[in-house]
Structure 1
């Protein structure tokens, strides 16, 4: 796998096209060798502007963009070269290969796989392209497995959260039901206490009436005794008259 990474990082330097007979391209190549990729890009652009269909300037321009990590711009450049109407399969194979590298660096695995396959169609004997294709396919497989794992974890988290929400709702419902039951018990107890109070008041009234009747009877009996005593009168001492 490390070997594949090394290929991806260093392959472009081996596939650049040099044209020593053109001053701008020559200057760009010298700057490229000095890792002055921005200055090299400027020279390649000037050369490409003079002759838009020039393969060398456009190909090396893509290399310079790639080295600056401008992968989207580099890919656009290589795609233009790969899709240009020409019968040169070697150029197409190299362009598609570097297009695949640009896509790979930009984390576009499916697009890189497609580009590598097109490169192999134009050059089936290119082992470096075949290795990079296998690397991209393995990375895609890992990505899909990770995405599946993440989705499963997300689904499990959602399920756990739903269970938690349901449990919280059940607890809330139980609390509400317990409160309703307690309120009902309190109401029943209040009603019972009220009934007992009424019964107590009623008994007290009846007791009071009985007490009053008893007092009235006692008073009547007392008055009757006093009345009887008066009727009997006091005993008088009678002296004989002789």
Structure 2
């Protein structure tokens, strides 16, 4: 059975108070042995009223609280139970204190308590075992915390990369829209320039044609004034005039052809546990 202290202490108190304290503590131990933890705790607490700060009662209350999984409260009680001059009793208090820390996953504190227990009772095999188990759990806890930290960092990095990709995609889409707008604007400007070029060429051709016709009229008038004299020279001059007009026409057609080629040019943009263990001593 579990170790529940049943100490008979010699104190300088009245016989009635001592009897009441012992009686209540005994009832508590009997209830505890029957696994009626709630009733045992009630008796221990009533005894504490009669004898406050009694290490034995602190120990027994801590034991009942431990069985109720109230480990933080048990730690407080076992810590008070350490205020005793009995090394063996103090060693057991350290043992249960370590077990309370262990169950609360405070492995560093558990290690310290088990070490204190072994200083007082070096041959305590259970304390040695739990000490090593606490060390193992502490390493696992540290590793788990490191893994959790790395996982969190990985999640944060993936989230940041996803946000960066979204921003990059938005930027690419906006750039694509801007480039498309610029390309359309360039095409419109080219079309306007081409239209202006065609109009200029037509006007220039018309002026040249009118000028050529005017010169031809003047030559015809001069030839008519000469009369019949120099008829042969007139025919030769006329042939020469016809040859010059053909050269002018060829030159104009060539200029128009070059202009059309320029208009056809385009600008294309591509963007692209150890299992359960017995935490308390058996008395």
| TM-score (norm: length of structure 1) | 0.73
Contact 2:5 2:60 in 1 (8 A): yes
Contact 2:95 2:113 in 1 (8 A): yes
* Larger helix share, 1 or 2: 1
Paired position in structure 2 for 1:15? 3
Report 1 or 2 for greater relative contact order, CA contacts < 8 Å, sequence distance ≥ 6.
Answer: 2
Structure 1 residues without counterparts, runs of 5 or longer = 1-12, 221-242
Q: Aligned partners of 1:152 and 1:202: how far apart in 2?
A: 73
How far apart are residue 207 of structure 1 and its match? 7.2
Q: Which shows bigger deviation, 64-73 or 158-167?
A: 158-167
Alpha-carbon deviations, 1:129-181, whole Å to 9, x = none? 11111111111111111122222222223333333333333333333333322
Q: Aligned partners of 1:55 and 1:164: how far apart in 2?
A: 61
Q: Tell me whether 1:56 sits opposite 2:56 in the alignment.
A: yes
3-state SS in 2 of match to 1:154 = helix
How far apart are residue 49 of structure 1 and its match? 1.6
Paired position in structure 1 for 2:160? 162
Contact 1:19 1:26 in 2 (8 A): no
Q: How does 1:28-177 map to 2 (within 5 A)?
A: 28-82=28-82, 84=83, 86-177=84-175
How far apart are residue 48 of structure 1 and its match? 1.6
3-state SS in 2 of match to 1:168 = helix
How far apart are residue 105 of structure 1 and its match? 1.2
Alpha-carbon deviations, 1:37-75, whole Å to 9, x = none? 111111101112211243332211111111111111111
Contact 1:27 1:40 in 2 (8 A): yes
Contact 1:104 1:112 in 2 (8 A): yes
Cα RMSD, aligned residues only: 2.8
Q: Aligned partners of 1:57 and 1:159: how far apart in 2?
A: 55
How far apart are residue 202 of structure 1 and its match? 4.5
Contact 1:25 1:43 in 2 (8 A): yes
Paired position in structure 1 for 2:14? none
Q: Which shows bigger deviation, 176-185 or 188-197?
A: 176-185
3-state SS in 2 of match to 1:173 = helix
Q: Which shows bigger deviation, 147-156 or 164-173?
A: 164-173
How far apart are residue 205 of structure 1 and its match? 5.8
Q: Aligned partners of 1:202 and 1:120: how far apart in 2?
A: 110
Q: Aligned partners of 2:72 and 2:159: how far apart in 1?
A: 41
Q: Aligned partners of 2:29 and 2:158: how far apart in 1?
A: 60
Structure 2 residues without counterparts, runs of 5 or longer = 9-18, 218-283
Paired position in structure 2 for 1:183? 181
